[in-house]
Amino acid sequence: MKNVRDAALFAAVLTALAAGAMLLAGANPIAGFAALARGALGGERQVSETLVQTSALLFPSLAVAFAFRAGLFNIGAEGQLIVGGLFAGLAGAAFVAPGWIAIPIVLAAGAIGGGLWGGVAGVLRARFGGNEVIATLMLNVLAVLLANYLIVGPLHSPNVAGPETAELPSSSWLPALLPHTRLTIAFAFALALAGLLRYVFARTVFGFELRAAGEAPQAAARAGIDLRRTALVAMTVSGAIAGFGGATLVPGVLHRFNVELSPGYGFIAIAVALVGGLDPLWIVLAAFAFGILQSGSLTMQALAHVPKDVVSVVEGLAILGLSARRFATRAPDVA
């Protein structure tokens, strides 16, 4: 989205699609929207839950946008997020220390894990010219399998029955922003990160080179920008952002790691990033909108009998429509 008019138009189309989907599901769209709004924004608890979802979506969305701006179609934010969460869970269960020491370690571990996972795709691309779409897609699957293997196998914690890590000591939990809610300082981190990325793209030489490599790789190469290095760095940083996001869910929401950490945040993030036009500020708004869908969908299903899958359908349509537009504009010029 480049401006308010685009955003309003897009919201209108999406609302119409959602209404259509509700009708097809045999439900009353007005009741559906009312239930959705009530579930997502009906009170302090609902709003805070929506913001929890917003920040969970915001990290991988910014990660996806970061790679996209560098011309890399990273669809592996989900895997990077899971590996980040895994690293955070393992680190958090291992360290017992005051929060101001433990929390930075836990979050940094997550960023490192996600960065490594993204970096694998970056190396494949930079070193061997491998397609990052295929690589990141496959690495999503590997991430889940790897995490499950490690937590039930070599790194199994003796006091835990299921496929998850031990609970983090409460001193390592993220401080809440609102008392008695799950809304933590992760939300503030997400907003700060959006601001930071916007600054990086607009003001720094690094951001300038990334954008050049993404928009016009041949011109960038001739201007002395190393495309391989750019691909490697962009994928690693993108993975680190997603991994950091996964890490915030461990001491912030679950207080342990398991692969149920994400209901597909890394995939929804692609839609959020595209809806946000790859601009961090618009992505914040888009993440909030998708956060509403995430947190209100259960209420919608319970009260208005609209299946919550309607939300997935609408998210899918958003990806489809926006990807089509993105690729359509890259069609060769007609003289």
Partner 1 sequence: MADAAPASLELRGIVKIYPALRALDGIDLTLLPGEIHALCGENGAGKSTLARIAAGKILATEGSVVASGPVGLVHQHFELVDRLRVWENVVLGREPRRGGRIDAAAARERVRELSRRYALAVDPDAVVETLPVGIAQRVEILRELAKEPSVLVLDEPTAVLAATEIDALFATLHTLAARGAAILVITHKLQEVIGHADRVTVIRNGRIVSSALTATTSLGAIAHAMVGGDVPALATRTRAPLRPAFVATNLCAGTGAHALHDASFEVCGGEIVGIAGVEGNGQAALSDAIAGILAYEGEMRLRDRPLPPDPAARLVAGVRVIPQDRRREALVLSWNIVDNVALGDHARAPLRRGFNVERGAREALARRVVERFDIRTPSIRACVASLSGGNQQKVVVGRALSCEPALLVAYQPTRGVDIGAAALLQSRLIEARNDGTAVLLVSFELDEILALSDRVLVMYRGKIAGEFERGSFDRARIGALMAGGA
Q: Rounded to the nearest whole angstrom, what is the least distance from the CB of residue 236 to partner 1 in the complex?
A: 18
Q: Report how far residue 199's alpha carbon sits from residue 279's, in angstroms, rounded to the nearest whole number.
A: 11
**Cβ proximity to partner 1, 11 vs 225, nearer residue:** 225
Place of tokens 């915001």: 58
H or E, element range at 97: none
Least CB distance to partner 1 at residue 265 (A): 30
Q: Which residue has the tokens 């669809």?
A: 75
Residue whose CB is less far from partner 1, 220 or 284:
220
- The nearer residue to partner 1, 96 or 202, going by C-beta atoms, is 202
Matching residue, tokens 């007609």: 334
The rounded distance, in Å, linking the Cα atoms of 307 and 16 is 17
> Which positions lie near partner 1, rule CB under 8 A?
203-206, 208-209, 211-212, 215-216, 218-226, 333, 335
For the CB of residue 199, give the shortest distance to partner 1 in the complex, in Å.
9
Nearer to partner 1 by Cβ, of 9 and 219: the residue is 219
132/209 with CB nearer partner 1: 209
Least separation in angstroms between CB 278 and partner 1:
12
Min dist CB 223 to partner 1, Å, is: 4
Residue 184 has φ and ψ, to the nearest 5°, of -115, -175
What is the C-alpha to C-alpha distance for residues 35 and 214, in angstroms, rounded to an integer? 41
Query: Distances in Å between the alpha carbon of 197 and those of 44, 233, 292, 310?
Result: 30, 15, 24, 32
Backbone φ, ψ for residue 166 (5° rounding): -65, 155
